[in-house]
Structure 1
């Protein structure tokens, strides 16, 4: 698959554990100081051992200066898209344009249902996600009414509007979801643990084919990648591997799961510059 030519971005995934609430803010400040581009936290509203993602992102945005923040990924079954759209736009305005949005169709349905949320079938989850994208964009743009089976807009005024052109990235895996990304999304955000590198070509092919059928260029869709942690081996070898993912599979944003400031600094100051250097020399 091709290099889609996007600018390279590097960031972290932080786990906001209830038992140590100061850790996530300390690591966020380290990521900002180290010069990383992106900072994300998982969104599991049914887990009492994790702090609420949007509360964490709001505090993190207030305590940093340049890093962009987003949920990895927002849990749609428990976050109505109209409210989510206004929350994201509000944080983007408050942070000076430093908020992004990644959406997920949902998982862990027993936990979601136990908290009063829906228990969607795969088909219902797909339909709800499709409708949610329309709802969010209609409130940001503004756009037309949405009359879906799960989500509707029938006259509510749009706004607030984000401070910058907000993209919607989808954390989705199945063929139907990948085709949805090609038709409508701005980015694809899989995890290496779910989609290892050898499965990227087939998934990218589905996205690209759907994009072309929708009259879009595949290059419009950013490919992001969640990394599980620092691999064994030296940083030089790791940088070569990441550069290869960019040049061969079009991955242009890497999110590393970290639990220490040392890991943040290693990724930001040793790995990221080397990946940029390797990609620039090949391009």
Structure 2
């Protein structure tokens, strides 16, 4: 099993003046601790469960560029980008640039989005969910077109929601054939079918429903003539080791429970991550015990 770090809470000690220094310490420590990737929440307002609109929420891809300069090994991406935030070509260009600047470590994390309040507050259109699913599929299709060959597939793209006259993409991504694509969500009829059709990884919610969701994904893979084992099975979680590491053993058991249900990579937020110590505890007492499972 591999662990990924999700950064989704940013009310750190010292305020914005110390943010860059703390963030650099967080990501370099996470890389040294053995995390496989670092993913950043893609919101413009902080989510209600993490403090709501009045809490700090920096822009995702600006942060990821900063992370690319501060790390050397870990994968980098959004957890995840709602399709309503950016035109697909702009999103693909952002991920491509991140891939180039990071030496081939970018991920495309994408989903339909769900936080309507932030979009209404900032004047960003928020289409109906049915339309956002259509936009999600077209976004992934455009990404694969733009990452084709050395320049992208330059034939026009004609979709229901997007039209590209020339999907040129230069510089091209370093990761070939393309940066890995993770589609978030565990809806059985639409989302998991899109995962089977296009994605390199899924992102599920933790819980006893995971085996059922993975069986649904397996059936979709059979219908799409896709190798189920090609898709990395991930889920989100919370890596709470306590103030002094007293919960590290409990976390190890939770991760083993997820592994036993078929999860390969767990992407977790770490309470008090700006204190750095929790990351060091995970690196010393958790990752060595779950690596290779």
Offset of residue 91 of structure 1 = 1.3
Offset of residue 44 of structure 1 = 0.3
Q: Deviations over 1:202-244 (max 9, x none)?
A: 2112211111101011111111121123167743443233233
Q: Deviations over 1:91-143 (max 9, x none)?
A: 11111112212112111123213323222212111101000001111111134
In structure 1, how many angstroms separate the alpha carbons of the residues matched to 2:128 and 2:146? 27
- Tell me which residue corresponds to 1:26: 25
In structure 1, how many angstroms separate the alpha carbons of the residues matched to 2:281 and 2:266? 14
- Paired residues for 1:86-165 under 5 Å: 86-141=93-148, 142-143=152-153, 145-165=156-176
- Tell me which residue corresponds to 2:80: 73
SS of the equivalent of 1:197 reads coil
Q: Deviations over 1:123-175 (max 9, x none)?
A: 11110100000111111113454322222222232333211131100112322
- Tell me which residue corresponds to 1:227: 237
Does residue 248 of structure 2 align to residue 244 of structure 1? no
In structure 1, how many angstroms separate the alpha carbons of the residues matched to 2:76 and 2:128? 30
- Please tell me the root mean square deviation across aligned C-alpha atoms, in Å: 2.1
Offset of residue 46 of structure 1 = 4.0
TM-score (norm 1): 0.86
Q: 1:261 aligns with which of 276, 281, 290?
A: 276
Structure 1 spans left out of the alignment, 5+ residues: 1-7
User: Mean alpha-carbon deviation: is it higher for 90-99 or for 104-113?
Assistant: 104-113
TM-score (norm 2): 0.83
- Tell me which residue corresponds to 1:180: 194
Structure 2 spans left out of the alignment, 5+ residues: 47-52
- Tell me which residue corresponds to 2:41: 42
Offset of residue 273 of structure 1 = 1.3
- Tell me which residue corresponds to 2:223: 213
In structure 1, how many angstroms separate the alpha carbons of the residues matched to 2:241 and 2:278? 11
SS of the equivalent of 2:4 reads strand
